[in-house]
Amino acid sequence: MLLMPRKVKFRRQQRGTNRGLAVRGSVIAYGDYALKVVDRGLLSSRQLEAARKSVMHETKRGGKLWIRVFPDKPIAKKANETRMGSGKSPTDHYAALVKPGKIVFEIAGVSEETAKKAFHKAAAKFPIRTKFISKE
């Protein structure tokens, strides 16, 4: 079950820039442990789902997991070996724009070593660097 918007006002978006640091969503709000982004970039809905599955598998579906990002940016992609021009291509997938400091996942109800191991496996699914943080 991939995350994607139910309904959008405009089908395609421009790329835009991804400057600055995350102000909102940079503090642990729900769980005890979290996975925080160190680099800036895009996380596709497939990457988020793969990471979520690996966390659930590692924790044996114990505890509660919160996903703090949502892939709402449509990414357009032209087919391979297509000539230039002829307009913008249709939406290929959706991605979440993340800045350094943004929390992607939070977890509660599991031990610290279990959370650390689970988030280490989840971080392997992302194309950007992340770090493990705890509430304290």
Q: Write the pLDDT tens digit of every residue in 41-50.
A: 999 999 999 9
55-83: per-residue pLDDT in tens? 999 999 899 999 999 999 999 999 999 99
* Helix/strand number for the chain, H first, E second: 2, 7
CATH code of residue 122 = 3.90.1170.10
If you average pLDDT over every residue of the chain, what do you get? 96
Query: How many folded domains does the chain comprise?
Result: 1
107 is a domain residue: yes
Average pLDDT over residues 14-24: 96
Q: Domain range for residue 100? A: 44-76+90-134
Is 120 a member of any domain? yes
Does residue 69 belong to any structural domain of this protein?
A: yes
Task: Supply the pLDDT for residue 108.
Answer: 97
- CA distances (Å), 119 to each of 20, 64, 72, 134, in order? 25, 13, 23, 12
